[in-house]
């Protein structure tokens, strides 16, 4: 069985934000999605980075409806280099590289669409990426998901499902995450690190003796 280092992307490697929030904001700014799509998605009523954005993003992928898959993939490369890369935490990236040198395989975990994570995975030399799976039809996204959004208990379920395939040994592996709902899967691991934790996760970490660290971006 193998040693894995599992890194949550949103709020952890990307402090104080998420890949999907940044992507949606860029699509709106560049008028790649229409006002009608944004209104349907329900975010016009929310200021950027409002506390409910995460809740809405988990529940609704309607803003992808009708977008050609090939166009989204091409744009994701530009988006990574210009929007995600500058916001990555240098401390987080250094930790990924340190674990890689130590012989860990790297697992990136996020609720963002899988195609958004692929350039990040290449940059960090990740061995496995798990994001949300968007339904596709006629070479376009439908705005629906093929499977439950990887959040809370679903993160734990997905990890347990892929562990045999990846020879992931939880008792030899480490996980980094930031949200209190992540405690559900963090408890599977021999080593768990709370990064930029919510108050509830910080309390759980103190009770369980998990290290608490703070990673910041440079912008």
Per-residue pLDDT tens digits of the chain, which is 219 residues long = 799 999 999 999 999 999 988 988 888 788 777 666 666 655 444 444 444 444 445 556 777 888 899 988 888 999 999 999 999 999 999 999 999 999 999 999 999 999 999 999 999 999 999 999 899 999 999 888 888 888 889 999 999 999 999 999 999 999 999 999 999 999 999 999 999 999 999 999 999 999 999 999 988
Please state the pTM of the whole predicted model. 0.88
Phi then psi for residue 40, to 5 deg, are: -60, -40
Helix (H, G, I), strand (E, B) or coil at 162: helix
Q: Is residue 218 part of a domain?
A: no
Q: Is residue 219 part of a domain?
A: no
Measure the CA–CA gap between 196 and 175, rounded to whole angstroms: 14
Q: Is residue 80 part of a domain?
A: yes
Whether the Cβ atoms of residue 116 and residue 19 lie closer than 8 Å to each other: yes
Give the dihedral of Cα atoms 112, 127, 3, 150; nearest 10 deg. Answer: 20
Q: Is residue 95 part of a domain?
A: yes
Measure the CA–CA gap between 28 and 23, rounded to whole angstroms: 9
pLDDT at 45: 41
Q: Is residue 121 part of a domain?
A: yes
pLDDT at 155: 95
- Count CB-CB contacts under 10 A for residue 81: 12
Q: Is residue 176 part of a domain?
A: yes
Q: Is residue 204 part of a domain?
A: yes
pLDDT at 144: 83
CATH number of the domain where residue 11 is located:
3.40.50.1000
Whether the Cβ atoms of residue 214 and residue 196 lie closer than 8 Å to each other: yes
Phi then psi for residue 8, to 5 deg, are: -70, 140
Range of the structural domain that residue 108 is part of: 4-213
Q: Is residue 144 part of a domain?
A: yes
Query: Into how many domains does the chain fold?
Result: 1
């Amino acid at each position: 069985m193998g040693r894995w280092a599992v890194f949550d992307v949103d709020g952890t490697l990307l402090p104080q934000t998420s890949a999907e929030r940044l992507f949606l904001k860029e699509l709106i700014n560049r008028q790649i999605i229409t006002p009608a799509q944004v209104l349907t998605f329900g975010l016009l009523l929310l200021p950027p980075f409002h506390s409910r954005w995460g809740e809405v993003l988990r529940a609704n992928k309607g803003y992808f409806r009708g977008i050609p898959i090939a166009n989204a993939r091409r744009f994701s490369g530009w988006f990574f280099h210009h929007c995600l890369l500058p916001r990555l935490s240098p401390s987080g990236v250094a930790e990924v590289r340190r674990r890689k040198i130590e012989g860990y395989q790297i697992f990136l975990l996020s609720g963002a669409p899988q195609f958004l994570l692929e350039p990040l995975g290449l940059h960090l030399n990740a061995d496995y990426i798990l994001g949300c799976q968007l339904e596709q039809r006629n070479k376009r996204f439908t705005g629906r998901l093929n499977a439950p959004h990887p959040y809370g208990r679903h993160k734990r379920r997905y990890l347990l499902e892929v562990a045999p395939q990846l020879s992931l040994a939880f008792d030899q592996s480490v996980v980094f995450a930031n949200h209190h709902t992540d405690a559900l899967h963090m408890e599977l691991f021999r080593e768990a690190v709370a990064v930029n934790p919510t108050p509830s996760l910080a309390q759980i970490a103190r009770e369980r003796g998990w290290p608490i660290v703070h990673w910041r971006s440079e912008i």
